[in-house]
Amino acid sequence: MLLGALAGVKSAPDGPGGVLSGGVTGALEGSARPPSILRRMRPPETEPTPDPALFDAVVNLCKRRGFVFPSAEIYGGIRSTYDYGPLGALMLRNVREAWWRSMVQERDDIVPIDAAVLTNPKVWEASGHLAAFTDPLVDCRNCKERWRADQIGDTCPNCGSKDLTEARPFNLMFKTFVGPVEESAAAAYLRPETAQGMFVNFLNVLQTTRKRPPFGIAQTGRAFRNEITPGNFVFRTREFEMMEMEYFVPPAEADAWFEYWCAERLSWYARYGIPEAMLRLRQHDASELSHYSAGTADVEFLYPWGWGELEGIANRTDFDLRAHSEHSGTKLEYFDQTTGEHYMPYVIEPAAGLTRTMMALLLAAYDTDVVAGEDRTVLRLHPRIAPYAVAVLPLSKKETLTPLAREILHTLQRRFVCDYDETQAIGRRYRRQDEIGTPMCVTVDFDSLEDQAATLRDRDSTEQVRVPIADLADTIAHRLDPDLAV
Ligand code: ATP
């Protein structure tokens, strides 16, 4: 009931928060509190078994087909740093776009910003990152590897030595210098999260958009953390991209909005192709909570090595607005004209990793089957997430077919990201597209010259239908996402 009421918020005629400020607040105070999504999202009784072979298969495919390359490979790379290749860049853009669509475009209560990576270091003093963004660190005296003390016992996982240093705190922020001469320049830090840019712009956004709580500020962008133990491919890297949203709410509504965002974010992952059995919500216990949090739940994914975080959703209370008010001397409050009250909103934050999400989507989509007696690898990516929406394939390289095929390509390119491939046998070309997740192929053959139609082939069923060339773009749009076809 509670979630049902909350789910209506987006389309509520009285605007964002209309339902919450009225009916749901009432429902919250009622004695018959409905079961929480957090309790409902227990892990399934029978979990799928993690599959380490899947990890190798996906990492291998990423390199072979141009999703992810080791960074600066010709110089021997740099540990746990990756460059995104042609297909990776397209896929990241699609994941970012899908997040943006649901968080910004389809709502009228969330606005975007794009804040600086380098900012005044006082921001990190106020946020607690300078003092508290640390991991306990130990060095192995034998092999010189460095580890997080809370992740290993008393033995070095690399060489087995027990000769470890005492644990000491290690700040995860990258320090740099702003100005031409290092000695006299001011120290600055690469942001370890995008959230603070949204808190310090709270008043700017309020004044320029005339939003009132509950409302959100969203942004995507790179973040940098000097992780001690990066690894598992792009799961944990020192440079990564985040997709974060800070939702400012009246304090009394914070618990309800926390549940709302947990449900909303879980369903986003399911919508874009992660099977329910590989998704769960795990609530942090008190000992795990960050210094700012009154409640945190992780959306977890079943990685090949077991359950791990995909996104963190936290009730950050008024910690950040209060801290920045105190440190800057500027009161970050909201003035409610209807009640005449000044107050500091609470913040619910869904914080997701773009690069980590891409990896989870690839792991969830990887599949093998047999088509016409031949093994194939297929990425069953959501059509909106796949790097290419469609591939145009002329049946032959003959000059008679090329002009029509290229004309179709140019028409489709106005609406979709397309690939074009005229080399090798058509069966091989279908396999190549299946392996990178292209949901549809348009095959142009000699009949096309006569009947002005082409064959549309579906990646998952391999079914082929004949479609008039004039209808191709609309048919493809509908198949990509019936909700969004225009
Ligand atoms: P973890 O416990 O995995 O270190 P965290 O709790 O520190 O993550 P948050 O600060 O909540 O992570 O960041 C939000 C999201 O950003 C994470 O859920 C994850 O998807 C992503 N993320 C965080 N650190 C990294 C990293 N080093 N590499 C890639 N993605 C990351």
Q: What is the CATH number of the domain that holds 432?
A: 3.40.50.800
Comparing 46 with 462, the larger pLDDT belongs to 462
236 & 256 share domain: yes
Q: Does residue 159 lie in a domain region?
A: yes
242 lines ligand 1 (CB under 6 A): yes
Ligand 1 geometric centre to CA of 353 (Å):
6
396 & 458 share domain: yes
41 & 114 share domain: yes
**pLDDT tens-digit readout, 142-173:** 988 888 888 888 898 889 999 998 887 778 89
**pLDDT tens-digit readout, 51-80:** 789 999 999 999 999 999 999 999 998 888
271 & 313 share domain: yes
349 lines ligand 1 (CB under 6 A): no
Across the strands, what pairs with 243? 220, 352
Q: Does residue 166 lie in a domain region?
A: yes
For the chain, how many structural domains are there in total?
A: 3
Pair of tokens at residue 51: 């599959």
Q: Does residue 103 lie in a domain region?
A: yes
Q: Does residue 358 lie in a domain region?
A: yes
Q: Is the per-residue pLDDT at 183 higher than 90?
A: no
Cβ atoms of 292 and 317 closer than 8 Å: yes
Q: Does residue 167 lie in a domain region?
A: yes
276 & 412 share domain: no
Q: Which atom of ligand 1 is nearest to the CA of 312?
A: 11
Across the strands, what pairs with 280? 300
Q: Does residue 210 lie in a domain region?
A: yes
217 & 140 share domain: no
* pLDDT, averaged across the chain: 88
The conformation of residue 276, written as its DSSP 8-state character, comes to G
Q: Is 442 helix (H, G, I), strand (E, B) or coil?
A: strand
138 & 166 share domain: yes
Which domain does 109 fall in, by range?
35-50+85-129+179-362
346 & 437 share domain: no
- The mean per-residue pLDDT over the stretch 239-244 comes to 98
**pLDDT tens-digit readout, 406-454:** 999 999 999 999 999 999 999 999 999 999 999 999 999 999 999 999 9
Is residue 225 classed exposed, middle or buried when 0-12, 13-18 and 19+ CB atoms within 10 A define those classes? buried
Q: What is the CATH number of the domain that holds 109?
A: 3.30.930.10
Q: Does residue 355 lie in a domain region?
A: yes
Ligand 1 geometric centre to CA of 389 (Å):
29
Q: Does residue 79 lie in a domain region?
A: no
Whole-model pTM: value is: 0.87
Write down the pLDDT at residue 59.
96
129 lines ligand 1 (CB under 6 A): no
342 & 401 share domain: no
Write down the pLDDT at residue 139.
84
As a whole number of angstroms, the distance between CA 167 and CA 159 comes to: 18
- The mean per-residue pLDDT over the stretch 90-115 comes to 97
Q: Is the per-residue pLDDT at 6 higher than 60?
A: no
All residues at 6 or more sequence positions from 446 whose CB lies less than 8 Å from its CB, including other chains: 395, 396, 400, 401
291 & 142 share domain: no
351 lines ligand 1 (CB under 6 A): yes
190 lines ligand 1 (CB under 6 A): no
Cβ atoms of 60 and 290 closer than 8 Å: no
Ligand 1 geometric centre to CA of 351 (Å):
8
278 & 404 share domain: no
Q: Cα angle vertex 399, ends 398, 403, to 5°?
A: 120
279 & 313 share domain: yes
